[in-house]
Structure 1
Amino acid sequence: MTLRKKIILFSSVFMFLVIAISHTAIYFLFYRAASNGEIDQLHVQADALVEAVAENNSLSEEEMGDLLKAYLPANGIIRMINESENDVMPVQTKSQRYTDLRVNYTTSETSDIVQDKAGNNFAMIEKPIIWENGDIVTVQIANELVYFDETIGSLTYVLLFSSAVLLIPTVIASIVLSRFLLTPIQKLKDTMRRNIHNKNWQKIDIESRFKDENWEKSDVKKRSKDEIYEMETTFNEMIDSLKENFEKQEAFVSNASHELKTPIQIIKSYAQLIERQGKKRPELLDESVSAIDSEADRMQKLVGQMLLLAKHKNESQQQEVNIREIIEQVIQTFQKAYPDRKIHFDAEAGNYTTFGNIDQIKQIPYILIENALKYSEEAILIKMRIDTEKIQIQFKDDGEGIAPEEQEKIFDRFYRVDRARNRETGGTGLGLAIAKEIIEIHGGEITVESEVGQGSTFIWTLVK
């Protein structure tokens, strides 16, 4: 069953039950109130009859019959019933069909709504009195509820008609509501299918357009920002995110393929050179082996960095780390590896403890210091500053600097300011991208301040 049918069926059944319960309650409440009113009215007449009979107990049968006729209801019957449920005097009635009513002897007063064989309703009062011979007889007075039956019948038709009047708009409203709710969902489903089959990253047109009275221009009608609007907005945001990630993935694969293609081609060329001339020219072996080893190292480094990028997304184990100690350890490592290069370290006094993944955080100073050593011949300055909320580390070099239009791009994967120079120094264009990703995972940020010919300063800021 479709969602549209479920909405219509549920709304209709629920409204039907509500109408049935409420109208049934109305019917029985009105029935009880009206019948009690008829019985109360007949009670007054029965009390007057009993009082009159008690006062005129010595009248003859004919005179008693005339007395009973005076209290006879317009559409009813009066009977005097003895213990054997026989009439002690002639029944007073205006229609013989009333004699089919029940005959009941009772020594206590009763009142009820009864029906004859034809199903007509009667209000009936039964009261005991002492007859002239000392016996207790029952005075039974009943009146047909002609207007009561007509009123109840009219009420029944009114309730049935009102039920239909209420139920039909409910069905129509549920159809309209289901269309209102499901049309955006259907549009969303169709858009998703088109994106699956066509891969065109189509989004939903959230704003609806309409034409004015002159049909000359169009305007944009703003929709209410309900849950459906939010769903469509979220879908469009998801499409933008998927498109961006897909394009980044395509660019990553394309760039990775391009970067791997060059060392593979060089290795293959030197291997073919050895195969063709290695035996005749032994001097080519050393050159070829050196080139193959160099390109294999560069390719290994590139693959390792790409794996590192993927690995960072899955490593989230955090512990307490001291950033200053990590920076000092990395500086010592580089000073041993590059004894001719100077790295100056300046740190304010304070507690540089924070939380993070120590293996990931160590990668950041490695990348930034290596980057500074690679593109600068002078000394490198590292400064650490701290306040109550954040820690700031600056990595300053005196290299060629970065043009303003290039500064936003240097954190993109495989991007290199000077591709030829970077290839000579072994750069892959992944280092800064890895550093930025690790920093953002830990809730920090990295920026660069640079001028061409004045060097560069990379500023790493993290929350304590």
Structure 2
Amino acid sequence: MKLKNKIHLSSTLLMFFVLAILALVIYFSFSNLSYNTEVERLKSEVEVMVTTFNTNTSQTPDDVLRAYVPIDGLIQEKNPSANTFNPIQRPTVQVQFPYDVEGTSGRLAIAGEQFAYVTTPVIWPNGEVVELIVAQSLREVTANLATLRIVLISVSLLAMIPIFLSSALLGRVLTRPIEGLTGTMQRIQRDGSFEKLPVSGDYRDELSQMGVAFNEMIELLEENYKKQEEFVSNASHELRTPLTVISSSADLMQRRGAQEPELQEEALSAIRNESERMRQLIEQLLHIARRSEAQMEWQKVNLSLVLDQVMTAMNASYNREFKLQLDDSSLPVTTDVQKLKQLLYILLDNARKYSEASIEMQAGKNGQVFVKIKDYGVGIPKQSLPHVFERFYRVDKARSRETGGFGLGLALAKELADSLHIELEIESIEQLGTTVTVVFSENFNVPELQSEQEG
């Protein structure tokens, strides 16, 4: 069953149930009130009858009682064995009223007809106390209640007509945005396009908010899809060049390698270099692809010890000078040590590639713990700064080719920084150098801390 039909059916049944309950409450409340009113009225008449009967001296008891017999009612002795007088009843009452009624007043159904009754004692002229039953038919009240039932049923059925129509309209109004969302998703799936929902209003109701959220999701999917296409295109381009070099060198070796050993050595060297470039590219791609799958191993460590280890490794690996300046010997941070080292290695290696002078690293605390990596290289143009963390983006492609760069290092660094809750800030002036600042966040929840790293 469609959602609009469910809304239509459920709201209609709910309102029908509410109307039915309301009608029943009205009917039974009015019914009890009417019956109780008749019983009270009969009690008042009986009191007047008893007063007249006890003070009467001129008329016979039967004449006094006959004068007070209710319309459509009767008067009889409660104890028929006494046989003090014969029952008196109106011609319209043709029922045998029971003698064993309970209480002094109430209501009783006899042969499908409702009667109100009152029992009362009177003093007979001979001094004997006789208990009487005075009963009256409630035909008029029953007829009025039957009319009330018809009125309540008619009104309820008439009220169901606008309720039925309004619930159908409500179902269509509520499900129209959902149907639009479903149709849009089906068209996106069928055509492969990115289509947005038309959203109107002030965005305060939930359906409008759903449309806005869907449009934002479509924008994000479209952006990610374009980035994915660009990523695949750039990766294909980066792989095409070394593959072309390898293929050309292999062909050259096959044609002339046997006759010219120097040419063969040159071709082998080109194949080896391009294979190494491909290996580095694939490793960086795999790092990016697997970043989201890696489990974080959070530790509370002294950052100065980690920086000292990183700088020792860089000085041992490259014939360059890496300087470390610590403003404070104790810099406690919560991080994943291995991923932090990988991030620092990427930033230091990137600085090394584009600078011939020494590389400086400064660490301290200014409200938040920070690390600054500064080089004195070629720098980055101002218009390129917003794009340096994009995949395959290279400021100087010719320069990057010479240094073996693919434009993936800083993209991987940015993703590592995001996973470590670290903010990267970059400042650069052309021909003067670049400074990358690593800022550690202190306001994030760590799921579970490992044991502290020992120095």
Change (3 A) 1:326 1:139: same
Cα drift, residue 144 of structure 1:
3.2
Q: 2:307 is matched with which residue?
A: 327
Cα drift, residue 235 of structure 1:
1.1
Change (3 A) 1:428 1:353: same
Cα drift, residue 308 of structure 1:
0.7
Q: 2:447 is matched with which residue?
A: none
- Correspondence list, 1:42-61, <5 A: 42-56=42-56
Cα drift, residue 226 of structure 1:
1.7
Cα deviations by residue, 1:85-119 (Å, 9 ceiling, x for unpaired): 978336342x3x31x222333597643334564x5
1:123 aligned to 2:108? Answer: no
Cα drift, residue 143 of structure 1:
2.7
Cα deviations by residue, 1:306-330 (Å, 9 ceiling, x for unpaired): 1111222122232223333222222
- Pick the aligned partner of 1:238 from 210, 217, 231: 217
Q: 1:406 is matched with which residue?
A: 384
- Provide the rounded CA distance (Å) in 2 between the counterparts of 1:297 and 1:337: 18
For the residue of structure 2 that corresponds to 1:408, the secondary structure is helix
Gaps of 5+ in 2: 443-455
Q: 1:379 is matched with which residue?
A: 358
- Provide the rounded CA distance (Å) in 1 between the counterparts of 2:114 and 2:179: 58
Contact kept? 1:85, 1:103, Cα under 8 Å: no
- Provide the rounded CA distance (Å) in 1 between the counterparts of 2:176 and 2:82: 75
For the residue of structure 2 that corresponds to 1:313, the secondary structure is helix
TM-score by length of 2: 0.89
Q: 1:171 is matched with which residue?
A: 164
Q: 1:431 is matched with which residue?
A: 409
- Pick the aligned partner of 2:63 from 66, 77, 85: 66
Q: 2:150 is matched with which residue?
A: 157
Higher RCO, Cα 8 Å, sep 6+: 2
- Pick the aligned partner of 1:193 from 168, 177, 186: 186
- Provide the rounded CA distance (Å) in 1 between the counterparts of 2:51 and 2:384: 116
The residue type equivalent to 1:422 in the other structure is S
Contact kept? 2:331, 2:364, Cα under 8 Å: no
Q: 1:3 is matched with which residue?
A: 3
Cα drift, residue 23 of structure 1:
2.1
- Provide the rounded CA distance (Å) in 2 between the counterparts of 1:154 and 1:89: 37
RMSD: 2.6
Gaps of 5+ in 1: 208-221
TM-score by length of 1: 0.87
Cα drift, residue 433 of structure 1:
0.7
For the residue of structure 1 that corresponds to 2:186, the secondary structure is helix
Q: 1:26 is matched with which residue?
A: 26
- Provide the rounded CA distance (Å) in 2 between the counterparts of 1:74 and 1:285: 134
- Pick the aligned partner of 1:415 from 393, 398, 401: 393
For the residue of structure 1 that corresponds to 2:372, the secondary structure is strand
- Pick the aligned partner of 1:346 from 325, 329, 348: 325
Cα drift, residue 259 of structure 1:
0.6
- Provide the rounded CA distance (Å) in 2 between the counterparts of 1:203 and 1:446: 34
Contact kept? 2:46, 2:118, Cα under 8 Å: yes
Aligned residues: 441
1:260 aligned to 2:239? Answer: yes
Contact kept? 2:107, 2:114, Cα under 8 Å: yes
- Pick the aligned partner of 1:113 from 107, 131, 135: 107
Q: 2:80 is matched with which residue?
A: 83
Higher alpha-carbon deviation: 276-285 or 197-206: 276-285
For the residue of structure 1 that corresponds to 2:116, the secondary structure is strand
Q: 2:229 is matched with which residue?
A: 250
Higher alpha-carbon deviation: 141-150 or 35-44: 141-150
Q: 2:445 is matched with which residue?
A: none
